[in-house]
Structure 1
Amino acid sequence: MTAPDDLDLLTTAELTIVGRVVQASNATLVCEISRPETETETETETETDTAAPLRCVYKPVRGEQPLWDFPDGTLAGREVASYRVSEALGWGVVPTTVLRDGPVGPGMVQRWIDTVDRRPEAGDGIDLVDICRPDLVPDGYLPVLRGHDETGEEITLVHADDPRLHRMAVLDVILNNADRKGGHVLEGLDGAVYGVDHGLAMHRENKLRTVLWGWAGDPIGADLVADLERVLEALGGSLGDELAPLVTDAEIDALRRRVRSLVERPVMPAPTSSRPLPWPAF
């Protein structure tokens, strides 16, 4: 969770660019925000403490690549809208995300997530979303797709049968997320699972592309449905007002229809398009 002071820093404090995510298709800059110094008084002296800077991701609008199916300059707003929906649900799937000015103009700023290292050399095994041989799918994992790697070896795309990940999959359905890659699923050191990169979300046409198809056809739990019902009501009031500056009225209406559809029939959808997975998948 983000402390209120950190939310204020993300929204208003000066951003210092310290790096860039070079694999990203849009300009994605790593920034730090200095925290205010604090003073602690002891019996003999006053000590000044300097906390570690707050790290964040900054995606300026001017660094967005043009897309044929999403209007230019709208990806930052979609990222923030996705965060607002996640927060309205109470799920905390999307890290704190704000829309603000930065060193190279307006853009979205999102809290950085420190992640668990599950590389084989770290000794922690398979990721929440990963690829393995079909005969080596671990217990507690769901197969999504079988194929072959560049050497011809048979492989399977899998993801964990984890309630934290299932909640993300439900969120992707209502957000109409067109880009849920495995690399967009982050297991935080705090024990939470976060989804990032929601610039290709909230379109009014069906564009759901995700690696989280393992629950297709399964029922959605009553606790999640209750959250969806609450958001459905809020979309007609305060939440709809929050989203209005970020996405179009038609996209808010489409969001409302998707939420209502899951409330009325709480079952995870199955793929219906010819391209149900993003590419590349990671």
Structure 2
Amino acid sequence: MTSPAAAPETSPATTPALQARGLVKRYGRVTAIDGADFDLYAGEVLAVVGDNGAGKSSLIKALSGALIPDEGRILLDGQETRFHSPLEARQAGIETVHQTLALAPAMDIATNLFLGRELRRSGPVGSLFRLLDQASMRRQAQEQLDALGIETVQHIGQIVETLSGGQRQAVAVARAAMFGSRMVIMDEPTAALGVKESRQVLDLIRRIRDRGMPVVLISHDMPQVFELADRIHVHRLGRRVAVVRPADATMSQVVSLMTGALRIGDEGAPPDVTDQPAPRIS
């Protein structure tokens, strides 16, 4: 999956955690990804925005192993890699929270956090009968919720179908943070949530970022993007057209970049910071 021969393209201090160059994906005469580039740096929230049909979903699928590009390169910590499935991306430390959440509603919170990664009891009996170590899973699941400051869940053994939308989203995000050793990708994490529940999810994303985990946030909610993101990746017609910082741009300017009414270099356009990681505040 990973080619050790590929050399980092930048110095170790500025090497993106995840990078893509010239990604292309065609479906017959339709080009979903048209030479797309991408850069995610350590410890930042990178928002990916674009109109419907801009190719955001295809780009994220390529980065998370759900889609194999026809052309282009993907680099993980400066080393070229190629994912053939979401499982390979997960094994590399990339976790994705989809809009569907992929939770098992009839199971409890702890089981959902370990879904597909269940812990087995040690010893010959556990090995022979493949018994689950429920106590360890519940203990570690509670530790994860506590570490992320998730206080809206009453009990780790609560069945997921009894949770609110915000609580379910918190469980999905906690699972991603628990196993994502390199980064977390979130696709519209506050869609269909109320104001209070959205606030809880946004605070959770901040806490993940503050732990040093880079986060990719795909969102149509511009106020949330400007509140949360360190940098904004603007996607249009299957490729990246700009990366701007919320402090340097207005929502109107970003929307104009999305639609093509404004281009980087035009009078009144915000500065492009494609190759500049967001400054960290200690």
| TM-score tier after normalising by the smaller chain length | under 0.3
So what's the TM-score if we normalise by structure 2?
A: 0.28
